[in-house]
């Protein structure tokens, strides 16, 4: 074989690693019943590929080849270790006896879905669900995840080790939940995905590159689930993420300053993402089973369709917030609704609502509530009140771009 051909098949292995490694891992976890053993087996399978493919040619079905190579490697490993721990010999024989049908099963995509449900199991701590999903399903390294969540790799690694130990010894199943359990379990999965998305979308410190990748991963996960399990809320969440992502370029100035929705240059919005998001929202609505993600996506779609803030259909937005507040009452939803009412009926109407929400106390320490109040006072020309509220918001805000934005607004007051 020529050097060029060898380099060629090496490139093939790399390409297969990128597209197939997570699928191979998901199937090996099902066959071996153990995350660590599966991960080890997957790496050994790819190592064998690097060695054998240049010599013997790339197999017709690389994924099946890798799964089967990984499985044999795992059986070898278990037999080797069985010299010290007799129970492993039984396990090796059991895996060895698995029918070829189980190995070849074309339900490979089901394996990925199983993996997501296992990683997002509600018996795991929420931060562990996020870390495990990014590590096992998305294949991010511990260092990458740690950087994105502003924590140390060792803390993160420990979190993952602990979660895997719980999966194994507490018997967290590796399966797609039954119909009866699906709503609760899907909820947990969608929450994890949206959390990952928001980590990547919220303008905060941390290297912006990693952050953007997180949103990309969340959208990829959303697409995967939408493909395998087209529940309305899955479509709603994917639509919501795409509609928010479509504004990414427009929401910060080249200097990194935050630009509010009403001031964004709408020609910068990504039309392709908007079209896809709108279609998803429509499909979710067609089911007539409206969930919180679908409603938020519907609100985002009204913005996406408007030529400017002034031309936005605020009646429809307030209407969606009404349904959302009914479905999932929360002070934050009430606050967003108040802002929409201010846009529809004028700042006085919104201010009365915001003051009532602040008086309830839940959002007294929430900087965006004070920032929203300040904005309405500014529009009404109540400069002193606006200043007091901007200052209160500034005292509570922690993210740098938001602080800069509030400082700018304060400076602009007459």
Partner 1 sequence: MKYMLLIYMNEGAMNQAEREQCFGDSTKLCHDLAAQGKFIGAGPLHPVATATSVRIRNGQRLVTSGPFAETHEQLGGYYLIDAKDLDEAIAIAARVPPVSKGTVEIRPVFELAGLPTKT
Partner 2 sequence: MKFMLLCYDDEQAWQKAGQAALASAMQEAVSLCHEIAAKGQYLTASPLHPVATATSVRVRDGKRLLTDGPFAETREQLGGFYLIDVPTLDDAIAIAARHPGAPLGTVEIRPVLELAGLPERP
User: Could you tell me the maximum CA-CA distance found in the chain, to the nearest angstrom?
Assistant: 81
Q: How many residues bind partner 1 (CB under 8 A)?
A: 9
Strand, coil or helix: 412? helix
Q: Measured from the CB of residue 78, what is the shortest distance to partner 1 in angstroms?
A: 18
Find out whether 299 and 240 touch, Cβ atoms under 8 Å.
no
Query: Which listed range, 48-56, 77-85, 169-177, 329-337, lies at the site for partner 1 (CB under 8 A)?
Result: 169-177
Token digits for 157?
């690694």
CA distance 347 to 380: 7
Closest to 392 (Cα-Cα) out of 370, 409, 410, 376? 370
Q: Measured from the CB of residue 131, what is the shortest distance to partner 2 in angstroms?
A: 13
Q: Does 178 bind partner 2 (CB under 8 A)?
A: no
Of the residues 97, 171, 179, 398, which one makes contact with partner 1 according to CB under 8 A: 171
For residues 180 and 255, which CB has a smaller minimum distance to partner 2 in the complex?
180
Q: Does 166 bind partner 2 (CB under 8 A)?
A: yes
Token digits for 329?
């009452």
Find out whether 273 and 331 touch, Cβ atoms under 8 Å.
no
∠348-329-286 over CA atoms, to 5°? 100
Of the residues 169, 267, 308, 311, which one makes contact with partner 1 according to CB under 8 A: 169
Find out whether 95 and 102 touch, Cβ atoms under 8 Å.
no
Closest to 312 (Cα-Cα) out of 335, 294, 339? 339
Q: Measured from the CB of residue 122, what is the shortest distance to partner 1 in angstroms?
A: 9
For residues 30 and 373, which CB has a smaller minimum distance to partner 1 in the complex?
30
Closest to 373 (Cα-Cα) out of 323, 263, 364? 364
Q: Does 123 bind partner 2 (CB under 8 A)?
A: yes
Of the residues 47, 123, 268, 413, which one makes contact with partner 1 according to CB under 8 A: 123
Q: Which residues contact 24 (CB under 8 A, 6 or more apart)?
A: 42, 45, 63, 66, 67, 70
Q: Which residues contact 18 (CB under 8 A, 6 or more apart)?
A: none
> Residue 177 binds what, of partner 2, partner 1, none (CB under 5 to 8 Å, by partner type)?
partner 1
Q: Measured from the CB of residue 10, what is the shortest distance to partner 2 in angstroms?
A: 41
> Residue 173 binds what, of partner 2, partner 1, none (CB under 5 to 8 Å, by partner type)?
partner 1
> Residue 341 binds what, of partner 1, partner 2, none (CB under 5 to 8 Å, by partner type)?
none
Residue 31: half-sphere exposure toward Cβ, Cα within 13 Å: 37
Q: Does 122 bind partner 2 (CB under 8 A)?
A: yes
Contacts (CB under 8 A) with partner 2, residues 126-165 = 128, 162, 165
Helix axes 367-380 and 347-360, enclosed angle (nearest 10): 150
Closest to 231 (Cα-Cα) out of 271, 170, 189? 189
Contacts (CB under 8 A) with partner 1, residues 172-231 = 172-173, 177, 181
Query: Which listed range, 167-175, 216-224, 232-240, 339-347, lies at the site for partner 1 (CB under 8 A)?
Result: 167-175
For residues 122 and 319, which CB has a smaller minimum distance to partner 2 in the complex?
122
CA distance 404 to 131: 31
Q: Does 165 bind partner 1 (CB under 8 A)?
A: no
Q: Does 170 bind partner 2 (CB under 8 A)?
A: yes
**Interface residue list for partner 2 (CB under 8 A):** 122-125, 128, 162, 165-166, 169-170, 184
**Interface residue list for partner 1 (CB under 8 A):** 121, 123, 169-173, 177, 181
């Amino acid at each position: 074989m020529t050097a060029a051909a060898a380099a060629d098949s090496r490139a093939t292995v790399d390409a297969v690693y990128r597209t197939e490694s997570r699928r191979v891992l998901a199937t090996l976890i099902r066959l071996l019943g153990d995350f660590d053993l599966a991960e080890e087996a997957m790496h050994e399978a790819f190592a064998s590929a690097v060695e054998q493919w240049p010599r013997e040619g790339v197999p017709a079905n690389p994924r099946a080849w890798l799964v089967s190579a990984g499985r044999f490697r795992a059986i070898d490993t278990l037999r080797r270790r069985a010299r010290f721990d007799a129970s492993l010999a039984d396990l090796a024989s059991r895996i060895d006896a698995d029918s070829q049908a189980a190995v070849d099963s074309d339900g490979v995509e089901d394996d990925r879905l199983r993996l997501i449900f296992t990683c997002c199991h509600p018996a795991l701590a929420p931060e562990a669900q996020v870390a495990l999903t990014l590590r096992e399903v998305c294949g991010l390294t511990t260092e990458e995840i740690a950087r994105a969540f502003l924590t140390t790799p060792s803390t993160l690694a420990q979190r993952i080790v602990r979660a895997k130990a719980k999966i194994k010894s507490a018997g967290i199943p590796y399966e797609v939940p039954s119909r009866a359990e699906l709503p609760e379990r899907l909820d947990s999965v969608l929450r994890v995905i949206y959390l990952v998305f928001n980590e990547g979308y919220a303008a905060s410190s941390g290297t912006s590159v990693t952050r953007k990748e997180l949103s990309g991963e969340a959208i990829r996960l959303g697409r995967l689930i939408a493909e395998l399990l087209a529940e309305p809320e899955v479509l709603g969440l994917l639509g919501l993420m795409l509609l928010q992502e479509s504004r990414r370029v427009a929401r910060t100035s080249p200097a990194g300053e935050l630009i509010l929705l009403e001031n964004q240059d709408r020609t910068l919005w990504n039309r392709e993402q908007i079209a896809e998001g709108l279609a998803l929202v429509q499909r979710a609505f067609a089911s007539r089973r409206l969930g919180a993600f679908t409603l938020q996506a519907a609100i985002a779609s009204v913005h996406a369709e408007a030529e400017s803030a002034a031309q936005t259909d605020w009646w429809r937005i307030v209407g969606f917030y009404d349904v959302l507040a009914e479905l999932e009452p929360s002070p934050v939803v009430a606050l967003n609704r108040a802002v929409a009412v201010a846009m529809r009926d004028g700042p006085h109407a919104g201010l009365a609502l915001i003051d009532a929400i602040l008086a309830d106390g839940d959002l007294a320490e929430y900087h965006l509530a004070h920032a929203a109040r300040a904005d309405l006072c500014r529009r009404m020309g109540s400069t002193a009140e606006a200043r007091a509220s901007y200052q209160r918001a500034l005292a509570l805000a922690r993210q740098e771009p938001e602080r800069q934005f509030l400082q700018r607004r304060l400076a602009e007051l007459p």
